[in-house]
Each structure stands twice: as structure tokens, then as C-alpha cells.
Structure 1
Amino acid sequence: MAAMNGGGTRRWGWGSARAEHQRADAQTAKDDAAAAFYELDTAQRDLRISIETLSAVDDSPAARKAVADFAEFGTRIDQVSQEYISVVDAHDLDRDDLDSATAARARAELGRVRQELERVRGELQRFGEGLGPLLTQAETQLARLAPAVERAKQSLLAASNALDAVRDSGLQADGLAGRLAALSPELTRLNEGAAQHGVRDTLRRAEQVVREAEAVRDEAERLPERVAEIDKRLASLRTRTQALHTRAGQVEPVLSELRRRFSAACWQDLQQVPDQAARSVRQAEEKLAEGRKARDEQRWADATAQLSTVRALLNSADEAIKAAGDRLQRLNEVSFDQTKEVEQTRFAIRDAQRLAMAGRSTPDPRHAGPLDDAVARVDRAVDGLTGRHPDYWHLLTELDAVKETVQRVVDQIRDERAAGR
């Protein structure tokens, strides 16, 4: 009996030791699983910071896909984490009556869930490593944020100072002041920060503020020079208007001589020049007065616009007056001796013909045709000088047209040869 009891005692002691060993192994498995759970949770939280940064900065398709993929990881992590918690809750390793089989089963299940936790963490780690380029770009934008906002504030301050300096000099700059005031809400949003408005929008807003504030500052700094230029143009255009007023009165005598000495075809198209010139000069004087008033009222943009109109009107009058004088001069010259104009045109034709034949035994019909036609046109124009009052103006316009045709042929030949054709 004693022997049996002794033997029984040994078997019980061996079984108890085995159960304790299994309990210890299960506890080790539980600790390992807890460590794996903690590491996965830590990796997820660390990567979430990066994803939030990416989401705030980058709106590209690649960034949006990364955010979506991380959300899918979140679902998988929740699933494996819930499985881990369920396994831990299912096994009380501190029970006094924990048998070896139960401990072994707990160890196995805890080992399995640990492996699953580690597998998901490994996939999450590889996913995070693949985000390297996107995160680098996002971090670069974040690094730009503070300097960009500061640059915007400094640009606004510089614009404000430039505007104050202009006003201190006695000049008004209401338009610039209004543009600067319109940037005030943008400054408020910049001060509220990227946390409220996002990194992308804040960077865009800062760049816009810099651009517009610098434009205001530049215009404010150039305003004194602009005013001086307006004053200079006012004086210059006033002098020119007076001169053209005098010249406009000289057109009628020119037309009288044209009527007296040449056929109607030589001057008919100039009949309206005196009225046109006088009307343009009169309108220029009116616009000049409006420009002076705008300048006195410091409406700089209006003053500049009026002076541009004055200049256009004076150019129109000047061209019309000049056209009448040039017509008389050219007609005088050609009526005295048309040989010079005709020979110049024929020389241009011959020169083009030599160019067309250079390196060829026969000319290209595309070149020869227009040049042959040019010769015939000159001959017809010269033969047309008949009667008491020949149409010298027709001769001149024909010769001018022939020269233009010849020049086009020359340009064509040179272009083709330059291209190797």
C-alpha cells in the first residue's frame, strides 16, 4: 500500500510539474502574443501619422490609393486584434486547476494568433516602406509651409509700407489700397493655420498672397515714376497736337496742286484727308483734356488710357497728312522722269531671274512664271502713260506691286535652297 501510495505520489508530482511547465510555456506564448499585438498597434499608429500627413498634403491618385490601402489594413488589423483579444480572454492561465492539455491548447492558439499578428505587421511594414517617395514629397511640402506663410506676411508688410510711402508723397493710390485690403481675409486664414485649412490650401493661399502683395508693392514703388511719365506724355502730346493742327491746314493746298496737275485717279482717294485729319486732331484735343483732368484727379489708369487714345488719333491724322504730301512728292518725281522708278523695278526682276537660274539649266516654273508676269506688268504700266494727264499713280502702284511679287519669289527661292530642296 505504501508502495502504491509512493508510486502514486510520484506520478502526481510528475503530472503537476508537466502542467506547470505547460502553463509556463502558455504564459510565454501569451507574452509573445502581447508583444506582437503591441508592436502591430505601434506600427499602425506610427504609419497613421504618415498617412494623415500624406492625406493633408497630397491629392494625387497615388496618394489617394495609399490612404485607401491603409484603411483596408485598418480593417485587417481590427480583425486580427479582435481574434487576439478573444484568444486571451478564452484562456485563464492563472487558474489553479489549469491542466496540461488546456495549457497546451492555449499555447498553440496564442502562438497561432502571434504569427498572424506578426504577418500583418510585416505586410504593414512593407506597405509603409513603399510609401517612401510619397512621404518624402509630402514632408518637403510641410517643410515649405512655415517659410511660405512667413514670406506671405513679409510681402504684405512690404506692400503696406510701399503704399504708405506713396501716400506720404502726396499721391493717391486708392486702387492699390483696395487690392491690399482685399488680402486681409487671406492673412486671417493664414494665421488660422494649416490645421484648419489644410496644407495644400495654405501653401496655395500663401503663394497667392505673395504674388498679389508683391504686385501691389511693385506698382506702388513705380507710381511716382508712372506719374512723371504721364506728365511727360501730356506735354509731348500737347505739342504734337498743336503741330498737327497746323499741318492739317496745309493738306488742302497739297490737294489743290494734285487736282491741278494730275488726273483724278491720282488724287481721288485723298479727298477726305483734310476732314479726316481735322476730325482726328479735334478728337485728340478732347481726349487730351480728359487725360489732363484724370491726371489732376489722380485717376492714373484713366489718364493712361486717354493718352493712349490721343496717341492713336494723332498717328491716324499724321499718316493721312503724310500720305497726301508723299503722294504729291512721288507724283512730281515720276512725272518729271519715270525712268528711275521703272529701271529700279526692272533691275529687281533681272536680279531675281539670275537667282532663279543659279545652278540650273532651266528655271523652276514656279519661279519663272511670276517673274515673266512681272516683266509684262511693268511693260503694260509704262505703255499706259498716255494722254495729257497720264495716270502716274497707277504706274507707281503697279511698280510697287511688282516689287512685292518679286521679293516673294526671291524669299521662296532662298527658303527652298536653305531647306535643301
Structure 2
Amino acid sequence: MTATHARPRVSATASAVRDVILLLLLPVPLLAGAFAGGGTRRWFGGRGESLRAEAQAAKDAAAAAFYELDSAQRELRISIETITAVDDSPPTRRAVEGFTALGQRIDEVSGRYITAVDAHDLDRDDLDASVAARARTELNRARDELVTVKTELDRFGEGLGPLLDKAETRLARLLPATERARAALLAASNALDTARGSGLRADDLAARLARLGPELTRLNQGAGRHGVGETLHRADHVLREAEAVRADAEKLPALAADTDKRLVSLRTRAQALTTRAQGVEPVLSELRRRYSAACWQDLQQVPEQAAADIRLAEQRLTEAAAARDEQRWPDVTALLGTVRALLNTTDEAISAARERLERLDAVARDRRPELDRTRFALRDAQRLAMAGRDRPDPRHARPLDDAVDRLERAVASLEGRHPDYWHFLTEAEAVRRTAARVVEQIREERAGG
């Protein structure tokens, strides 16, 4: 009984050991199939594994192309933002439109790439060979599209070169321009303080500087709020105005000193002209006594007009002195200019009376020097008109012939009991001007020819 029951147990154990040994001796593929149970389609090695690897390589290449395209688009967006921050010209607007269109293309191909990636799980154990092949094809197509759009994006970026260079140049100017404007304002403020320290109010300069306050506020708010172009323009404006205020403030002490000197000088000149004007009446008396009325009647109003102009000049000098005390410098400058003009006119009128008498005396003694000088000018013009010609151009000959006749009539007017020497002198001057005009015309024509 015992022996009978023991034999089967030994046989079963031996059989189990043999089965294990046989399984261990089987080839690996068969062993795997034995444990798989026969219901799955896993496959290893051969063409199937190669297709999986190719599909994975296509996926990696497409991912790399997608990353490169995304990076290029980000960089180009920064360039576009740089350009638009500085410039709003038609070329810039066209560049923005072009970038927007490229962005739509990028979205389309990126969408197809993402769809291809999501459609295929290349890590699945039961990946079919046909599915791997289809994934490889679709991912390669997505990569090619990504590369093509990247090429278009690169070409578009190259075309932005001039606009980007211009924008970067202006951006590079932004900070230095802003700092120069602030420095100019500080220098103007310091110069104004120095001028005030010397006792000058400089109210107009202070008002000009105060008007730059709001501009400085906007300048400090920066280009982020007001734009690069407007900020650069504002910085240049503040710089110019502040430098002008500084220069005027620095010149103010010298202006005050020069104004004081001019006031003294013009007042002294007015006094001197008052004295000289008193000598006009004796000159007129001499002219009336010795020469005909035609020689002096245009000078009759000189003493009265000179006195009136001097009084007006002295009045303006008083007003200028008051403006100087109040430091109204533009008013001072205008008033002193009026005084100078009045005194110049008076000086010329007073001198004209004395010169008239001297010239009349000279021609009355001997008319020949004046006559010879005039005839010489006529002959010189006539010789030039005939140079290189058989006969003169009528445009030159006619005015010269008329001038000769005019001189002869002027000489004839000296005959008689009351010769008009002043008429003779003015006619001689007119003849010389005619001769000079013809000479100038001839020389210009020959130079042009």
C-alpha cells in the first residue's frame, strides 16, 4: 500500500522537473510565446521594430523643427515689437501685416504637426507595422512643412534688416537723449540761480524754464507710455529750450553791463547832436545868402526835425532806463534800437547841411573837377561798349548817349545870374550812376557769354 502510493508521487515530481528543464532549454522567442498565452500580437525585431524606430525618428525630427520654428517666431516677434515701438511708417505697417500672415501659416502647420503627434502612440506594445508606417509618413510631412515655413520666416526676417537697424539706432539714442535733456535742464536752473545771485531777477527766463516742467514730467514717464518717437522728439525739444535758457542766463550779467554802457553812450550822443543841431541854422543862412533856393530849400526843415528827433530819442532813452531798472530786457533792446535809428537820421541830416555847403562852394569855385570825373566815367563806359565791336549794342549806346545829353544840359544850367549848382551836382551823379550801370551790364553779359 505504502509502496503502491509512493511511486506516483515520485513520478509527478520528476515530470514537473523535466518540464521546467525543457522550458529553460527552449529558444527565447518560443519561451516568450509560451508565457504570452497566444492571445496577443506583440512582435519583436525585424521590419516591425525598424518601422517603430523610423516613426520615432520622424517624431523627434518634427519636434526639433517645431522648436526651431517657435524660437524663430518668438525672436522675430521681438524685432517687430522693436520696430513698431519706434516707427509707424507705411513700411512698418506692411511688415506687421506680413508677420501676421506668416503667423497664420505657422499656426496652420503647427496644428497639423500637433494632430499628427497626438494621433499616434509610438510607445504602445501592440503598435501595428502599418500604423507605424503611417505615423512616419505624417510626421515627416509635418516636419517638412515646419521647415518650409521656418525658411519663409527667416527670409522675412532678413527683409526687416533696414527697419530693425533704424529702430535699434533710435532706441540706442533714447537713454542718452533723455539724460542730456535732464542735464540741460539742471544746467539751465543753475545758470538762472547764478544770475539771480548777482541781483538780476530774470523773470522771463524763469517763466521759460517753468514751461518745461510738464515736458520733463512726460519725459520721466518714459517711452513705454508716450512711445519712442514722441519721447525722442520731446527730449530734443527740452534740450534745445533748456540750452537756450542757460545761454541767456549766462549772458544776462554781460547784457546788463552792456545795456548800461549803451544807455550812457546814446545819451552822450544825443547831447552832442543837440549841440551840432544848433549849428545847422547858420549853415542854412549861408546857403540862402549865397545860392539859389533850389540849392537849399530841401534842407529848410532840418533844424526843426533834428530837434524833434532828439527830443523823441531822449524820451525813448528815459523809457529804456526804466525798462532796464525793471529788467525788461526785450523792451530795453527795442527802445535802444529806436534811439539809435533816430540819432542816426538826425546825424545824417545835420551832416547833409554842412556837406551841401561844402560841395556847392567847391563847384562854385571850379566846376571842372566834377565835370572831368563825370566825363571820364562816360568815356570809360563808351570804350568798353565798343571793345571788339564795329558799333555798340543799342542797349548800351542809347543810355550812354542820353547821359551825355543830360550832362550837357546840366552844364548849360550853370549859365545865368543864379546858377543851380545843386542841380548840376545831382545830374552829374546820375550820369555817373548810368555809366556804372552800363559797365556792369556789359561785363555780366560777356562773363555769361
The two structures have a TM-score, normalised by structure 1, of 0.91
Counterpart for residue 252 of structure 2: 223
Q: RMSD in angstroms over aligned alpha carbons?
A: 2.3
Identity %, equivalent residues = 67
1:50 is matched with 79
Write the deviation string for residues 115-135 of structure 1: whole angstroms up to 9, x where unpaired. Answer: 111100111011112222332
Return 16-25 or 148-157, whichever deviates more. Answer: 16-25
1:302 matched to 2:331? The reply is yes
Aligned with residue 287 of structure 2, among 244, 250, 258: 258
> Post-superposition shift, 1:273?
2.2
Aligned ranges for residues 29-108 of structure 1 at < 5 Å? Answer: 29-108=58-137
Contact 1:294 1:303 in 2 (8 A): yes
CA distance in 1, matches of 2:278, 2:338: 22
By how many angstroms is 1:12 displaced? 6.0
Candidates 156, 163, 168, aligned match of 1:139: 168
Asked whether 1:109 is paired with 2:138, we answer: yes
Q: Is the 8 A contact 1:160 1:217 kept in 2?
A: yes
The structure having more radius of gyration, on CA atoms, is: 2
* Offset, 1:97: 4.4
After superposition, where does 1:329-344 map in structure 2 within 5 Å?
A: 329-344=358-373
Give the 3 Å change call, closer, same or farther, for CA 274–212 of structure 1 in structure 2: same
- Taking the aligned partners of 1:17 and 1:98, their CA distance within structure 2 comes to 14
> AA paired with 1:280?
D
Q: What is the CA deviation profile of residues 358-394 of structure 1, one whole-angstrom value per residue up to 9, with x for unaligned ones? A: 3334333322222222111111111122332222222
Question: What is the distance in 2 between the residues matched to 1:139 and 1:108?
Answer: 44
Deviation at 1:202? 1.9
State the aligned residue count.
413
> Is the CA contact 1:382–1:395 (under 8 Å) kept in the aligned structure 2?
yes
Q: Give the distance between the partners of 1:262 and 1:29, measured in 2 at CA.
A: 121
Shift of 1:294: 0.6
> Partner letter of residue 364 of structure 1?
D
CA contact (8 A) 1:261 1:389 kept: no
Alignment match of 1:158 (pick from 151, 163, 187): 187
**Residue 354 of structure 2 aligns to a residue in which SS?**
helix
Distance 1:78 1:398 in 2: 94
Unaligned runs of 5+ in 1: none
1:170 aligns with 2:199: yes
1:179 aligns to what?
Answer: 208
Contact kept in structure 2, 1:245 and 1:278, CA below 8 Å: yes
In the alignment, the residues of structure 2 paired with residue 186 and residue 87 of structure 1 have an alpha-carbon distance, to the nearest angstrom, of: 57
TM-score, with structure 2 as normaliser = 0.86
- 1:404 is aligned to 433
- Give the Å deviation of 1:13: 6.6
Q: Paired residue for 2:57, among 23, 28, 31?
A: 28
The answer to whether the 8 A contact 1:145-1:199 is kept is: yes
User: For 1:4-44, what per-residue CA distance to the aligned partner results, in whole angstroms no more than 9, with x for missing partners?
Assistant: x99xx8x9676996444433332322222222111111100
2:395 paired with 1:366: yes
The CA distance in 2 between the partners of 1:233 and 1:389, in whole Å, is 47
What whole-Å deviation, never above 9, does each CA across 1:90-116 have from its counterpart, x for those lacking one?
334444544222332222122112111
Is the CA contact (8 Å cut-off) linking 2:48 and 2:129 kept in structure 1? yes
What corresponds to 1:272 in structure 2? Answer: 301
1:283 is the counterpart of 2:334: no
Deviation of residue 85 (structure 1)?
2.4
Q: What SS is found at the alignment partner of 1:79?
A: helix
1:324 equivalent to 2:353? Answer: yes
Are the equivalent residues in 1 in contact too, given 2:87–2:167 (CA < 8 A)?
Answer: yes
CA contact (8 A) 2:83 2:164 kept: yes
Work out the CA distance in 2 between the residues paired with 1:336 and 1:59: 82
- Please state if 1:387 is matched with 2:416: yes
Instruction: Give yes or no for contact 2:284–2:353 (8 Å, CA) kept in 1.
Output: yes
String of CA shifts for 1:161-180, please: whole Å, max 9, x gaps: 11111111111111111111
CA contact (8 A) 2:41 2:126 kept: no
SS in 1 for 2:410: helix
Q: Distance in 2 between matches of 1:147 and 1:176?
A: 26
- Give me the whole-angstrom Cα distance separating, in 1, the residues matched to 2:274 and 2:127: 120
* Aligned residue in 1 for 2:16: none
1:236 correspondence with 2:265: yes
Q: Verify the 8 A CA contact 1:40 1:118 in the aligned structure 2.
A: yes
Structure 2 CA distance, aligned partners of 1:83 and 1:12? 30
**d(CA) in 2 for partners of 1:293 and 1:12?**
114
Moved more, 53-62 or 119-128: 53-62
Residue 220 of structure 1 deviates from its aligned partner by 0.9
Report how far residue 60 of structure 1 moved: 3.9
Amino acid at match of 1:337: D
Asked if the contact 1:263–1:389 (Cα under 8 Å) also holds between the matched residues in 2, the reply is yes
Q: CA separation in 1, counterparts of 2:94 and 2:347? A: 68
Q: Distance in 2 between matches of 1:43 and 1:338?
A: 97
1:123 is aligned with what amino acid? Answer: E
For the residue of structure 2 that corresponds to 1:390, the secondary structure is: coil
Q: 2:243 pairs with 204, 214, 219, which one?
A: 214
